[in-house]
Amino acid sequence: MTTTELYCVWCRVFGHDADTCESKVTIREVTDDEHAAIQTLPNLLSVSHVRARSMRAFDVEFVGKERNVVFPEDEPINFSAWFPLAVIREMSDWPTLAPLSDHPDMVAEGDWSGIRDSSKESIWSMFDLVFKPVNS
């Protein structure tokens, strides 16, 4: 298990030095199942940080490197992601999720922003529909 920390709002918004911030609060441990689930993302090459955003299972964000699928000959891309959106992004058939999104017309046309800009509740509904935990 890995201890995760939530940095104060000042660190996140204004870019203060999170390593020396005295407002860090441990939310919970990132579970082995969450780490394993992140590793199933197909273009992921490495993960450098994972942290829990809440007590809800799989509500984690992570930082890592992934293959450049647009220009495969280029260097890997540094990125950060919220796990539920990363899972949904990997689906090839987003239009099937249109009824669950806040922007069904956009999603029906294959527009990622219709998913990305949906409410957290809608994103969780889509995630719950498409995600099957590794150990189930």
Q: How do strand 60-66 and strand 77-82 relate by DSSP bridges?
A: antiparallel
> Would you state the pLDDT for residue 2?
42
pLDDT tens profile 79-130: 899 999 999 998 878 889 999 999 999 999 999 999 999 999 999 999 999 9
Spatial separation of the C-alpha atoms in residues 123 and 53, rounded to whole Å: 15
Helix (H) or strand (E) holding 36: helix 32-39
Q: What are phi and psi of 67, to 5 degrees?
A: -60, 145
Q: For residue 7, which amino acid is it?
A: Y
What average pLDDT does the segment 39-47 reach? 89
Tens-digit pLDDT profile for residues 9-28:
445 555 555 555 555 555 78
Find the mean pLDDT for residues 32-56: 90
pTM for the whole structure? 0.76
Q: Per-residue pLDDT for 39 more than 60?
A: yes
- Of 81, 52, 56, whose CA–CA distance to 66 is shortest? 81
User: For the chain, how far is it from start to end, CA to CA, in angstroms?
Assistant: 20
- Residue range 50-69, pLDDT digits in tens: 989 889 999 999 999 998 88
